Chain A
Amino acid sequence: MFSHITAVLRALAVTLALLAGPAYAHEGHDHGAPPPPVSKTIAPRGEAASAAFELVAVPKDGTLILYLDRFETDEPVHGATLTIETPTGSANATAATDGSYQLPAPWLSKPGQYDLMVTVSVGSDADVLPLTLTIPDLAASNAPVQVGTAQTISATLSQAVPVVTQGIRERLARQDPVLLTVSAGSFLLGILVVLVARGRRRVPVIAVLVVTATVLLSASAFAHGDEDHGRPESKAALIPPNSPGATATTDLAQRLPDGSVFVPKPTQRLLELRTVMTAAGSYRRTIGLPGRIIANPNASGVVQSSVGGRLSPPPSGIFPRLGTPVKKSDVLAYVTPPVQRVDVSDMRQRQGELDQQIAIVQRRVERYQKLTVSGAVAQVQLEEALDELRGLRDRRSALDKLRAEPEALVAPVSGVIAEASAVAGQMANPGQMVFQIVDPKSLWVEALSFDALGSAENATARLADGRTLQLTYQGAGLADRNQAIPVQFAIAGDTSGLRVGQFVTVLAGTDTELQGLALPRAAVVRTGNGQDVVYEHTTAERFEARQVRVEPLDGNRVLIAAGVGAGKRVVTQGAELLDQVR
């Protein structure tokens, strides 16, 4: 029973302790020492950030250089008014040609800590950014005060140990009698002391003391030889911090010992680094399909000749050429069917017959007209003869017309001539396509899909030049074509510059929904060990690589399934360049 209560109490204690922990981490609550400088080789600088802006201040040769960027995108802000509360009063920074803002600051020559307040106003945005700038004491920088005690000891050790070991190695190599004597003496002394101390309870302690003393003695003995130990090792690992004249030259992008990348603002601007704020969401996975642009079947047409015949231009005298806009029912060409030689003799024979009959009936009609007056011929007979004459004349004229009348080829739809094969005098075969008419404002895309697309309403097409087109799903065929199904989309919006037959990549959404953060493909960098990382913009000039798990999303974006949370600034432009910083 008691143990249960204990367990509960323990659990409660742990829970409360865990609850208490994060509560301390509230906004800006840092009572400890300011964060250590990022590197000894980087000039002192101050930075501040708000929801809208990010500000970095770097003192250089008596001038305070301020870099103002948008917080979310890391885009430089131009044309802002920066009012700075300095120890000598408030002053405005002037914009420099390189996109920074500069303020003459002679007061910065004195070392110390400066609290500045920078009021930024650009357009309708205004913000106040408090900034702390610590100017180190140049005179004190050469004294070992700057370096921590632990660092000093470790530096001393790391320099002393190689010296000692190298001394031993040299002496061993030369079979130095001093070395041999000292080591033999130490050994004997050790044995002697151990023998004296034997039988007592504190043997191990004494033994350790003795051995330590022996080693120290022998080491000091080594160090007192008269050999040249070579020049003292240079302290090249630590460039003296802020040595005079070094501040301006050492501001270089570098990878810090903790793995993060320090990129000063001027370099960030040179590399055009841009970031984006991550946001979680659900995305439809898209698949890429090969497709090509086709004419809208309802807004295009072909002009074919129904009979074989000789082509002749329309009344305007010229055939419509490629690209000529035409209207529906415009006459584009004429086809004159040729008359065969056999047909010609046939027709001539028929013509002669008809002419002969017309002459006979004509004469009969004239005779009847005279005789009907006297009543010798009935009126009915005259009328019959007249009808016959009229019929014969009709047949005769139809025979003439048939020989002369060509077939008119008319445009079935309005559009632009996409294909024209008409040449004056050319013989067209029946069924041959003479013109193709396409409406360039109404084009479709036909893609081949290996899967049945469920709801492809949010499809886009990407052209080779990177342009994208919004597509509206029109329908999919069921008949197999090369083991794939043709899917048709209408292009919504501007179709200028497109041509029929052009290849496109159709990106169609599938039904599977994925959760995560969508980032541009360029944000993900593959490191040397084959892992995918993105660079998070942690502070104004620091970027940290974050290992991520990436899933394909569509042509331009990938989905970050794990590794980075929402609300982080991730580099989307220039990440590859950032990865090269050593």
Chain B
Amino acid sequence: MVFWRVAVVGSLLMTLPVQAHEVAGKFGGRVTDAGKYHVEMVAKDKTLDVYVLDNSEKPLPATGFKGIAILVVNGKPARITLAPADAQKLTGTAEVALGAAPKGAVQLTAPDGTTASGKFN
């Protein structure tokens, strides 16, 4: 009996975080995977904020990270260099206004020199 109860509770727990992950990120952006990290991208007018998260969606300190984002805006690629703005996020500015949910990819360089990239569709 105990086993089946545990199974029920476990299944419920398994479903919940995944659904939260699918909808949106904590900072109001979209989350995708980049190698061993998760990244959340928040586009607002010309500013792009990228949060680095770990596998369990906990924010990681952004210091030491570098990044490039290439987003397709109105059918043209826009290259945005990302640099740590504060302890939490990397920020970059584009030359054109980014839409609410631009397509593209983000490439991160971790403090240890490894790279990771994530794609936003």
Which residues of A come within 8 Å of B, CB atoms? 6, 9-10, 12-13, 16-17, 19-20, 23-24, 26-31, 50-51, 83, 85, 87, 90, 113-117, 119, 121, 124-132
Contacts and interface: CB of A to CB of B under 8 A. Distances in A.
Nearest to A10: B4
Contacts of B115: 87, 113-115
A128 B75 contact: no
B107 A29 contact: no
Interface in B79-121: 79, 103-105, 107, 114-119, 121
Contacts of A113: 114-115
A116 B4 CA distance: 47
Interface of B: 1, 4-5, 7-8, 11-12, 14-15, 18-19, 21-22, 32-33, 35-36, 55, 68, 70-72, 75-77, 79, 103-105, 107, 114-119, 121
B75 A125 contact: yes
B4 A23 contact: no
A29 to B, nearest CB: 5
A115 B8 contact: no
A117 B4 contact: no
A129 B106 CA distance: 10
Contact of B33 (A17, A28, A87, A114): A28
B8 to A, nearest CB: 5
A127 B4 contact: no
B77 A121 contact: yes
B114 A128 contact: no
Contacts of A29: 33
B10 to A, nearest CB: 8
Q: Which 6 A-B pairs have the closest CB atoms?
A: A16-B11, A130-B117, A115-B115, A13-B7, A20-B14, A23-B18
A11 B76 CA distance: 51
Contact of B117 (A23, A115, A124, A127): A115
Nearest to A19: B15
Nearest to A9: B4
Contacts of B36: 31
Contacts of A116: 117
B50 to A, nearest CB: 14
Contacts of B19: 23
B119 A24 contact: no
Contacts of B7: 10, 13, 17
B105 A90 contact: no
Contact of A128 (B5, B55, B104): B104
Q: Which of A30, A83, A117, A131 has the most CB of B within 10 A?
A: A117
Contact of A16 (B12, B21, B116): B12
Contacts of B15: 16, 19-20, 23
B77 A26 contact: no
A117 B107 contact: yes
Given A117-B68, A128-B72, A13 B4 contact: yes
A127 B5 CA distance: 48
A342 to B, nearest CB: 95
B1 to A, nearest CB: 7
A115 B75 contact: no
Given A12-B11, A126-B72, 18 more contacts: A9-B5, A13-B7, A16-B15, A19-B11, A23-B19, A23-B22, A28-B32, A85-B70, A90-B79, A113-B115, A115-B35, A117-B107, A119-B70, A121-B76, A126-B75, A127-B103, A128-B103, A130-B119
A131 B32 CA distance: 15
Contacts of A51: 121
B72 A13 contact: no
Nearest to A18: B11
Nearest to A29: B33
B21 to A, nearest CB: 8
A116 B116 CA distance: 9
A50 to B, nearest CB: 8
B99 to A, nearest CB: 14
A128 B71 contact: yes
Nearest to A123: B75
Contact of A117 (B5, B70, B75, B76): B70
